[in-house]
Amino acid sequence: MSKRKLEQSTELVAKKISCTEFKDEWLHEVVEVEMPNSSEKQKVSLGQIFVHQETGDVVCSICQKANAGGDSAVAKSGMSGNWTN
């Protein structure tokens, strides 16, 4: 690989990709996490954890159902910063 191509690929890895608004398609991404109903990791879609509201806010539905306090239980919006992909 040429030196220039190596430098370009290194630059791309170092940059964060961000978006100014949440994308519904992200809710279809599958992740492996521990869910409240099991101590073992499960593969679930982000849509099973988060809800994207019409206002553009994103809420952790698990936290909201549990009436948990804290940042995850209240709506989050990309307005305060960029959504990171």
pTM (two decimals): 0.58
Give the model's pLDDT for residue 45: 94
Residues of the chain above pLDDT 90, percent: 18
Q: Higher pLDDT residue, 48 or 82?
A: 48
Query: From its phi and psi, is residue 2 left (phi > 0), alpha (psi between -120 and 50) or beta?
Result: beta
Q: What size, in residues, is the chain? A: 85
- Which of 43 and 18 is assigned the larger pLDDT? 43
Q: What is the pLDDT of residue 84?
A: 45
Pinpoint the alpha helices (H) of the chain.
Answer: 3-14, 61-65
Mean pLDDT, residues 67-85: 54
Sorted by sequence, the CB contacts under 8 Å of residue 46 that are 6+ apart come out as 26, 27, 28, 29, 30, 31
